[in-house]
Amino acid sequence: MSQGVLLFAFNNESINYVKQAIFCANRIQKYLQLPVSLVTNVDVKDSCFDKIIKLNQKQSNKKSYRDGSLSKRILSFNNSGREFSFDLSPYDETIVMDTDYIVANDKLLNCFKQQKDLLMFKDATHLGIHNNTSEFKKISDSGITFYWATVIYFKKTFVTETFFNLVKHIKENYIHYRGVYQFKNTVYRNDFAFSIAVHMLSGYVENNFIGTIPGKKYYSIDRDILIDLNNDEFKLLVEKQDRLGEYTLVKLKGSNLHIMNKFSLERIINA
């Protein structure tokens, strides 16, 4: 059975997600030795990709992008396409990954040894004091369990095809599901749509319908600043509790890291 990684990259007016995807793909090949395919709406010619898949999705979302606590910009946000992962992936077994999820070990290879057809992260740890951030526990105060769409593993089976078709349905009827599940965020979020699909296919109860991505998910929020990346060692400035613009130096070695501050990641890529 073929195995590989699928990335999605749609640039906006300030952030080059395709450049992030190239950086991400090179690290995937270094640590995982897996082929990487890219879904994008622009022409890309880079030998690091197994396949380039064109997808012309129009989406006019806007969202805040931070570069630490003291800098914020409102930019276009095109997170379309993830719901088509089953249809677009050229692999029998696929790891779908955000371009800002930076691989620094080979633990994701254990996805291919699991028995479940579908794996996602449910729990995650922030590098600083935000590790109990409620927004990443439930999709609303009275809502269901939050699942991260940052990394998704699936086999091409009837079950996962049904799952991705349900995600499409949820996206098409997002306003309705926003009311049903009582979350405030009006911008479409893959995390929310995938969490709702897990809840529905689990029979509206907590069970083991899906499995967990092997390893621990670490993340830094966009108020944190990545200042250095040397092979598998990250250095970040993490904002102090209730100290706007004050930071603590944090190091992480040998673990994968989800970096939400796109500007600081881009500076490291361009360095």
In the chain, where are the structural domains located? 3-270
20 pLDDT above the threshold of 90:
yes
130 pLDDT above the threshold of 60:
no
Q: Are strands 225-230 and 233-240 parallel, antiparallel or unpaired?
A: antiparallel
pLDDT band at 122 (very low <50, low <70, confident <90, very high): very high
Q: What is the pLDDT of residue 149?
A: 96
Q: Encode pLDDT of 57-73 as tens digits.
A: 766 678 888 898 888 88
Q: What is the pLDDT of residue 86?
A: 98
Round to whole Å and give the CA distance between 51 and 38: 6
- Three-state DSSP at 14 gives coil
Mean pLDDT of 30-50: 94
Q: What is the pLDDT of residue 129?
A: 65
How many CA atoms lie less than 13 Å away from 270 in the CB half-sphere? 10
96 pLDDT above the threshold of 80:
yes
Residue with tokens 């965020």: 185
Kindly report the CATH number that applies to the domain delimited by 3-270: 3.90.550
131 pLDDT above the threshold of 60:
no
